[in-house]
Amino acid sequence: SVGEWVMAIGNPYGLEGTVTVGVVSGTGRTDLGISHFENFIQTDASINPGNSGGPLLNMNGEVIGINTAIFSRTGGNVGIGFTIPIKMASDILDELKKDGKVTRGWLGVMIQKITPELAETFKLSDSHGALINDVVPNGPAARGGLKRGDVIVKFNGKEIVSVQNLPKQVAAVDPGKSVKVEIVRDGNKKSLDVTLDKMKEEKQA
């Protein structure tokens, strides 16, 4: 949780066994341009070349993440580091052990954030959800009846609070599985069944 004390361990610049200490500065960080599927813990424990890839631990000695990247205009640490949550890393590891690769679900839509103005235009009660601004022809969404202008408010039983939630939810579903997608269309809620495909490298969720 935010404010929790944490330690980063690694070998920054070849200095073996270095421990740096800080706090959890934020959680659920997205839109960093590091990956398509971002859900980072932010910390001010110092991360530099050599201790990225090392563990981030809480004060009980439990690994809570894998140090991954920093935000910096100089190349040095400025107290803004990003860590992959251990639950996400563990799930990926299990999949690699089982199948030798990571397989993600693919919906076949392009989405954008709901602004207050768009919420009014699309007759929404708030700015929650993901607006579909394009649908891939013959993709899973198109086959399931989703259209441009639909607003996805719930996916596979989970609320889509912000647009960043949807790619992570889609990627977590096994290809070939049918899921319920709740949308708002012309001010009315509809529920559609959509069978996901397998994501290819060049495709976005």
Write the pLDDT tens digit of every residue in 58-116. 999 999 999 988 887 777 777 888 999 998 888 778 878 877 777 788 999 999 989 88
* Half-sphere exposure of residue 7: CA atoms within 13 angstroms, side-chain side: 12
> Taking the CB of residue 118, how many other CB atoms lie within 10 A of it?
15
> Is the model's pTM score more than 0.75?
no
**CA–CA gap between residue 59 and residue 102 (Å, rounded):** 31
Written as six digits, the tokens of 109 are: 């839509």
Q: Which two tokens stand for residue 46?
A: 């110092």
- Cα-atom radius of gyration of the chain, to the nearest Å? 20
Q: Name the nearest CA neighbour of 20 among 61, 51, 60, 66.
A: 51
At residue 152, the pLDDT reads 95
State the pairing for strand pair 5-10/18-29.
antiparallel
Q: Under a CB-based contact definition with an 8 Å cutoff, are residues 128 and 153 in contact?
A: yes
Per-residue confidence (pLDDT) for residue 190, from 0 to 100:
94
121: part of which helix (H) or strand (E)?
A: helix 116-121
CB of 43 within 8 A of CB of 56? Answer: yes
